[in-house]
Structure 1
Amino acid sequence: MSASELAARLARHAEAVCRHYLSAGRRYGNYWIVGDTANSKGRSLYVHLAGPRAGRWTDAATGQYGDLLDLVRESCGMIDFCDVESEARQFLTLPKTGSASEYRSIGAPGRSNRPAAERARRLFAMGQPLSDTLADKYLRRRGILRGSDHAALRFHPSCYYRDLLTGDTRRYPALIAAVTDPSGAITGVHRTWLDPSGDGKAKVETPRRALGSLLGNAVRFNVPVDAPVKVMAAGEGLETMLSLSYVIPGMPIAAALTANHLAAFKAPVSCLRLYIAADADDAGRYGSERLSQAARSLGILPLLLTPELGDFNDDLRSLELDRVTVNLRRQLCPEDVAAFLPAA
């Protein structure tokens, strides 16, 4: 049985799959609605339960999408397709097979991913430099004063926003962030739609979405292209990691955008120490623990960075900069304090 046939078999039992793997959600009409693939409460991820798109799902907050095999992979935190296949067959009480060679490789850039990545590259190319734009002002209001220094960030003055439930489209200004693979190639973008009046994010259901291939990739700041990276920090949110970069200028930084993608983030092979800025919720702890395990298996020392408040952007906006710096100084290795933190 091919992967597409296995996905189709799951799709015929879409609601049962959702009740098993996404038990925090509930049915609304022909959709199963839940927070995310980590089974959090919320309304951003929806799964089609009937019709020709039965089994297809989209997370409006991150832009993730796929079939029920992808959903099993994400919800169980699996990487290898043989594990996904085994889990799906167990759910369907099908006999196991000994090889997954005939099936697609999860995480590989398949045909369905290429158009999204191409659209992401085109969208980023249409953006303009961040300096003195609405996006720059938005970041400054959140305490991030040097956002325009980062080549990974651009501003789009009129970016399409589509309501994924009604299909209605509108245009809003947007902060565009490039998602790149370890070689620096753009594989996706993250969009933050903004209120044209300058009053924060756009007043829409999901003002943040990603497009393209995110698994293993990230929005990167201060990463040199011609030198090995021995120390870096990784975390979830774009503004969280931009805040960290503002306080620790020069340190290579990666924003994986979600807890599941943080778990799958691939640190550079030259990395010796990986600081992990984890969100203080169940999904954040899951992501940081999985990334820590992966780092140790590669001989990389994982070290947690903990904010005083909810995240480092909360710290930057609510606390004095000196206090945030002192908190981080306590958590960094002495050689990294000397290399990256301003002198006290």
Structure 2
Amino acid sequence: MLSASQLADRLARTAETVCRHYLSAGRRLGNYWIVGDVANNSGRSLYVHLAGPRAGRWTDSATGQHGDLLDLVRETCSLNDFRSLADEVRRFLSLPHPPLVDADRLPSRGGDGNDHSSAAASAVDRARRLFRMTQPLAGTVADGYLRGRAIPHATLHPALRFHPCCYYRDLATGLTSSFPAMIAAVTDEVGLITGVHRTYLDSAALNPRSIGKARVDTPRRALGRLLGNAVRFHFPLRGPVPVMVAGEGIESILSLSEVMPAIPMVAALSANHLAAFRLPSGCRRLYIATDADAAGRHGVEGLSRRAQALQILPLVLAPQLGDFNEDLRRLGPDRLIANLRSQLAPDDAPVFLSS
């Protein structure tokens, strides 16, 4: 019977064929296969090395997930035990089926961004070091960027900081540069920084309210240990959290915070990480802020199932447009509040919504 490492090596020999089969929404760019994420959505944040000593190794720069092609097959096919994963790989590689063995647990391989390998520890250290190099948000390009997106109170959140010259590496060409960036701290349940999220910005705009994201392929990137953790707003470090909001994007959650400033909120940064968010103790009611896309629904459904298993009531908050920041910018705070009031539990609306 081939080991996990041997199966991964076999896949790496035909890395492009593997990518064309399991990540068909992507495309080849130089020596990389580029796609949106492990769920095979279109985009450019996940890249797979197709040649050289790192053939078969992949990284999702938006979520911090990484691993080899065996990890990739596991994620794309949602396979939770090693026997099923090995069967899928053998089928793809046309390998003979081995005799049954007593091996029904998937070995820890470090592909989910939450392993304790030296590589993961190094990423966490780098994330903490980057956050220590930041400065307060107020009056910076990042503050102007968020104000231009109808989020004027972002400076109240200690999780958000600014770096005036943050390193950026182009995944396709290998060229490096630097941009101003909004830096968000990803923390665990006791407030320890486990990662950071970077939003690279274009500082060339003459009007501070017209500042946009940097004109690069992946202006949003994450670093560190993300699985189970999140960017937290209004979140207590101690004590129960009976009611809270969880969602994907930082700007979407900040938009909700503008009109619900008293409720704890988290931004998990992706649909996969939203589904895996580690819920706090004492939570009784969980509002899940959704986006209008298939990946968002995957995250909502996964977190809802986990909440129900913990006897937490999951309730969905849905925007009227694409996401809550679009609602805030295009419809205004009054219509956003009215839409949320119709979706909140009767006891929560008068407590958490701005009047």
* Shorter-chain TM-score tier: over 0.9
Contact 1:34-1:40 at 8 Å conserved across structures: yes
Aligned to 1:333: 345
1:218 deviation in Å? 0.9
Query: Kindly tell me: are residues 151 and 97 of structure 1, through their superposed partners in 2, closer, same or farther at Cα, counting changes over 3 Å?
Result: farther
What is the CA–CA distance in structure 2 between the aligned matches of 1:31 and 1:7, rounded to whole Å? Answer: 17
Q: Deviations over 1:282-341 (max 9, x none)?
A: 111111111111111111111110111110000111112111111101111122113211
1:242 to 234, 238, 254: 254
Letter in 2 for 1:7: A
Structure 2: distance between partners of 1:78 and 1:250: 39
Task: Tell me how far apart the structure 1 counterparts of residues 80 and 131 of structure 2 sit (CA, whole Å).
Answer: 28
Residues 120-147 of structure 1: CA distance to partner in whole angstroms, max 9, x if unpaired?
Answer: 0000111111111111111111011110
What is the Cα deviation at residue 79 of structure 1?
A: 5.6
1:8 deviation in Å?
Answer: 1.9
1:49-85 deviation digits (Å, cap 9, x = unpaired): 2221110112344443321133223323456666655
Aligned 8 A contact 1:2 1:103 in 2 = no
- What's the CA shift for 1:12? 2.1
Matched, 1:274 2:286: yes
Counterparts of 1:26-41 in structure 2, within 5 Å, are 26-41=27-42
Q: For 1:162-211, what per-residue CA distance to the aligned partner results, in whole angstroms no more than 9, with x for missing partners? A: 11111111121110001112222111100011112343111222111111
Mapped contact 1:235–1:262 kept (Cα < 8 A): yes
Among all aligned residue pairs of Structure 1 and Structure 2, give the percentage whose two residues are the same amino acid: 63
Name the SS of the counterpart of 1:119 in structure 2. Answer: helix
**Partner of residue 233 from structure 1, selected from 245, 248, 270:** 245
Structure 2 counterpart of 1:245, one-letter code: S
**What is the aligned partner in structure 2 of residue 168 from structure 1?**
175
RMSD of Structure 2 on Structure 1 (CA): 2.1
Q: Write the distance in 1 (CA, Å) between the matches of 2:104 and 2:152.
A: 50
Asked if structure 2 preserves the Cα contact closer than 8 Å seen for 1:37 and 1:74, the reply is yes
Matches within 5 A, 1:136-215: 136-198=143-205, 199-215=211-227
* 3-state SS, counterpart of residue 70 of structure 1: helix
Gap runs ≥5 in structure 2: 206-210
What's the offset of the Cα at 1:30?
3.3
1:114 to 2:121 alignment: yes
Matched, 1:43 2:55: no
1-side partners of 2:283 and 2:91: how far apart?
38
Measure, in 2, the Cα distance between the counterparts of 1:215 and 1:223.
18
Instruction: Supply the AA of the counterpart residue of 1:328.
Output: L
Question: How has the CA–CA distance of structure 1 residues 78 and 133 changed in structure 2, closer, same or farther, with 3 Å as cutoff?
Answer: farther
Note if contact 1:77-1:260 (Cα within 8 Å) is conserved in structure 2.
Answer: no
The equivalent position to 1:123 in structure 2, one of 119, 122, 130, is 130
